[in-house]
Every structure is written in C-alpha cells, then in structure tokens.
Chain A
Amino acid sequence: MNNMTILVVDDDPVIRRMLEKRLEKEGYEVLIAEDGYQARKILPQQHIDVVLTDLMMPGSIGGIEVLDIAKNLNPNIEVILITAHSSIDTAVEAMKKGAADYLEKPINFDELFLRLEKIANVNSIMRNAMDLSQAMDTTESAASETIQNLEIKTAELQNQIDMLETILRDEETSIYERIDKAIDLLTKQKIT
C-alpha cells in the first residue's frame, strides 16, 4: 500500500491525466495543479509528500520555482522534475537546489514508480529514526532526573557520614556527649 500524497504539476492536460490515472492505480493519493500558480496555492493547504512537476511551464512559476516554494514550506517534501532531454542541465542545477530526482520525457512509469518507492522507503526509515530518537530523549530525561537526584542524595549522605565520624572520633569530649551529638545530628538531618 502506498499512502504518500503526490502533487502533480503540469500544464499539459494529457500528461496530467495520464500521471493521475497511473499513480492512483498504484495506490497513491494524487492532487493536481494545472500550473505553478495553482501549485503555489495548493502546497501550503495540503499535506504533500512528493511534488512531481514539469520543469517548463507558462508564466513566471516554472518547475524550479515550484521546487523553491515546496522546500521553503517544508524541506521534507521531495520534488521530482520532469524535463525534456534538452533541459537536463537545468535539471541538474535543480538537484543541487534540493530536488530529489528528475525524469526525462517521455515518462517511463516503471522508473517513476521505482523512484517513488525509494522516497517512501527513505521517509519511513527517517520516521522510524525520529521515533526512536524521540523515545531515547524521553527515556534519557527521565533517567537523568533519577540519577541526578541520587547523585545529590548520595553526596549529602556521604557528608553526613563524614560529620558523624568527626563527632564520634572527637576525643576531647566524653563518649556520652559524642553519642548525644551524633543522635542530635541524625535527628536533624533525617533523610526525607
């Protein structure tokens, strides 16, 4: 089961429709944007795992701009660019800006599904790691509180033992007086 949500951004209605159908068939949740402007509107309103966007689109919001918008909103959103062979240099530039991958037209769906699976795997490993580190932090803070309390208590007890020793070894005073003082100290500093 694929439970990732994918935003498809393409100005070509035929490609859009094809991507939507194939991705839904694979079990992905699919959202559609007809151009960069629509993508910019949808991105902040929905939870999206992957953006699949055409590189070249009409207007001033192309694939690179969609990449920037998505990454600014949430660096964990992965972006795959769809490019014509002639614009591979731009696609490589986009990878440097944080795009996960690019696909050449015409789209090879097996290739696309493999990339998406890889992203899903990495996401699930990341989630696991985050959960584990969260669990570790919780355990650690509980343990540290206990240990630190014990550490202080032990030091106080040690101090008390040292004082008792001084009192009991004090040869200037009588043995009864020493016992009185020792009991006095113990009563006053009873462990709470």
Chain B
Amino acid sequence: MLKISPEELKLVAQYIHDISGIYLDQSKSYLFETRLGTIATEHGCSTYKELYQKAKAEPSKTIERKIIDAISTNETLFFRDKGPFELLQFKLLPELIDARTPSSPVLKTNIKIWSAASSTGQELYSIAIIIKELLPKIANYSIKLLGTDISDGAVAQASRGKYNKFEMERGLPGDKLQRYFTMFGDSWTIKDEIRAMVQFKKLNLMLPFVGLGKFDIIFCRNVAIYFTLPDRQKLFDKIADNLADDGYLIIGSTESLTGICPRFIPKRHLRSIFYQKK
C-alpha cells in the first residue's frame, strides 16, 4: 500500500473537507492509505500529492468522485436501529396523517420525507416499506420519498435497489425480505412497487439546498458526525429551513443537537428521540 507523508496528510485532509465536508482524523493515516491507495495506483500516481493535483486539475471530476465514494462510509442496514422506524410507524406518520389529511375527500394527503444521507438506500427503502404497510389506500396519498447522498456510487447502488446476501442478512426480518425483494442468484432486488415510491439523487450537504422545498420528516442520521462543529451548525440550520413548521427531524441515536442548533427541541417517545422546531 502506498504510504502517505505527514505533509500529504494535511493537504489531502483539507481537500477532502473542501469537496465533501467530511473531516478525517489526520492521526489515522491508514484510513487515507486504505481508502485512497488503490485510486492513486489506478491513476498512475506514485504519491498522494500527485493524486491530489490530478484530482484537482481534472475537468471531468472522475477522480474526485472516486475519492468521495472511497471516503464516505456506507455502513448501513435495513431498519438500522429499530427505534426510529417504530417512531415513524407508531407516532410520526399517524400524527402527520391526521395533520395533513385535507377536509375534502377528493384532495390527496401530501407527505414528503427526506433521507439526507441515504447511502446505498436501505434507510429510505425501509421507510417506504413501513408506509406501504401502514397505508392500505396508498392512492389517496401523494407521497414523496427522496434520498440524497454525496457518493455517486452509493446513489447508483441505491437506485438499482440490489443488495448482496451480506447486506441483506442483518436487520431485515424474513417476512419483509420475502415480500419486498426478489432473489436472483446471491443477490436480492427490491420489488418495483417499493422502488417506484422512492427517488435518489446526489447532494453535497455542505452546499446550499436548492429547490428541495419543505419536508414533513427529515432523517439525517450518522452523517454529521463526520463534520466539524461549524459545519454541523450550518447543516442543521439549513435542515431547519427545509423542515415544515410542524415537521419532524430524526438524527442518529448517539447524536446530539445540544450546542449545535437552538432552533430544535428534543422530544421523547418511548425509547426514541425526535426533534421539532421551536
């Protein structure tokens, strides 16, 4: 594996922060080496400085995209942590449906949910499955489920909705697996009825959110932990702007907004916490 020098570490860490907002600990040089070493070799670079220069100069941004794919963590599971999904199913969605159902029966109930760091799609598909099971008359609703991620590779895999057996084994109950996935060889593909409910696109959370509109529920779990404090503050401020006044925010179960965004207050439901705007 190509070794990284202390000077290169500084340079590359700054570059990664600039393109993705992700802050990598510079004391962990192996992190850089294991994730970027192959890309360097692939592009004929004998040092990380060379890789950095090549990535910056390249108009097509191919290397930049590869770097983002390599450093963004894609550890995710279907129904990761039961808490947030039970919260969605038994509290947030029922409350939201009560609040959003129009008085006229001809009008549809609008619900918009955003998975802000959707990775390879498991979270958003889990949400879609819950909605499908909760709402038998789904035609009476206009439901928009959006997943965004900074990694092109993750967005592409999420859009395919195809997972290998290791990705499937943890988290997903057997009955849901049989009902919502089709097996082919060693991989599983999400069925069209669920696939059609969701949309994935690339978004860098560090940049302004253009044209996203307001959401009723935002999931932003386990992504801000990779950002610096000022970047987290900016991120949750923008999220507050894009959340309906009575909407809900769900963050990772070990995350906190204390000292990060005074616009939100935490509320407890059973063993989970969600946030609403003040």
Contacts and interface: CB of A to CB of B under 8 A. Distances in A.
- Whether chains A and B associate is yes
Interface of A: 75, 96-98, 133, 140-141, 143-145, 147-148, 150-152, 154-155
A140 B253 contact: yes
Interface in B236-272: 253-258, 265-266, 268, 271-272
A155 B170 CA distance: 34
A155 B262 CA distance: 10
Q: Is the interface of B mostly helix, strand, loop or mixed?
A: loop
Contacts of B253: 140-141, 144, 147-148
B186 interface: yes
B170 A154 contact: no
Contacts of A144: 81, 253-254
Interface of B: 81, 165, 170, 185-186, 253-258, 265-266, 268, 271-273
Q: Is the interface of A mostly helix, strand, loop or mixed?
A: helix
B75 to A, nearest CB: 9
A152 B268 contact: yes
A181 B186 CA distance: 68
A165 to B, nearest CB: 15
Given A75-B165, A133-B170, A140-B253, A148 B273 contact: yes
B256 A147 contact: yes
Contacts of A152: 266, 268, 273
A148 B185 contact: no
Nearest to B257: A151
B258 to A, nearest CB: 5
Given A75-B165, A96-B185, A151-B273, 14 more contacts: A98-B185, A133-B170, A140-B81, A140-B253, A141-B253, A147-B254, A148-B266, A148-B268, A148-B272, A150-B258, A151-B256, A151-B266, A152-B273, A155-B266
A151 B258 contact: yes
Contacts of A143: 254
